[in-house]
Amino acid sequence: MFRGCFVASVTPFQGGAIDMRAFGDHLEWLIDSGVHGLVPCGTTGEAATMSVEEHIDCIKAAVRIVKGRVPVIAGAGANGTVEAVALVQAAKQVGADAALVVTPYYVKPSQQGLYEHFAAVAEQADLPMVLYNVPSRTGVNLLPQTVERLAALPQIVAVKEAGGTIHQTIEIRARAPRLAVLSGDDNLYLPHLAVGAQGIISVLANVAPAPWSQLYEHFAAGRFSEAQRIFLRLFPACKAMFIESNPMPVKAAMVMLGRCGPELRLPLTQISPENHAQLQGVLRECGILDA
């Protein structure tokens, strides 16, 4: 289940509410483009700005739209363990295949606190779990030693590693070979595959789903030069997706492609005119946007 190009899908909004029609159209386009899985309600999906009811409705809608064609890994983390358990339980009830559970943010727990948090969610929620490490957003790093301890829990099946370096991924692969590793950094997608990762949960795949999925398929089939060619061509777009805070640039790119409206929820805002022009230029140079 946890192999290939998974998309950390954006959430279209209109008039302050989730635009379910645009959301459905986007997920259908991603599936038609060959992606291997979908991850609604993560960072890219603006889950932090959703109410609990919206969050669950969005996951439920994704499951209904997908109809089992690809796995749905529901974003279901929280900075409190009780809330995280409730979100993962809700994701299970609406039919998600697994849950992506981020390290608690703001509270900055110890490694023991992280272990106990994930262990409690795994035990009480009883849904396959993907650990999510993104210290640049949460202020805490889930160390490989802690991942190794968590790998003994059968409900924990994978880790999304977005620490920004290759070294931690290498150590996780060595310490916890049972777990699938999914890259959380588009600009390290191919290097992560090269050291044993099984795929990616991608921001860029919202706007380049076909080539990003083909990259994985080329790599898995041993066609390394083809995978490298795609990676190098799209590498400038990987960086451009983070020209400002995610998901502001990818939402702007989606608007350029006519795939959703521009609405974001505060405190997220539109990217600056200068960065908009730069992003547009990069997308054209990479062949994502028509010249």
Residues identified as active-site: 132, 160
Reduced to 3 states, what is the DSSP secondary structure of residue 200?
Answer: strand
Say if CB 212 and CB 202 are below 8 A apart: yes
| Angle between helix 224-240 and helix 273-285 axes, rounded to 10 deg | 170
When computed from its CA atoms, the radius of gyration of the chain, rounded to whole angstroms, is 18
DSSP percent split of the chain into helix, strand, coil, nearest 5: 50, 15, 35
* Other residues' Cβ atoms within 10 Å of the Cβ of residue 155: 19
**Long-range contacts: 263-269, Cβ < 8 Å, 24+?**
263/12, 263/13, 263/14, 263/15, 263/16, 263/19, 264/13, 264/46, 265/13, 265/46, 265/49, 266/49, 268/46, 268/49
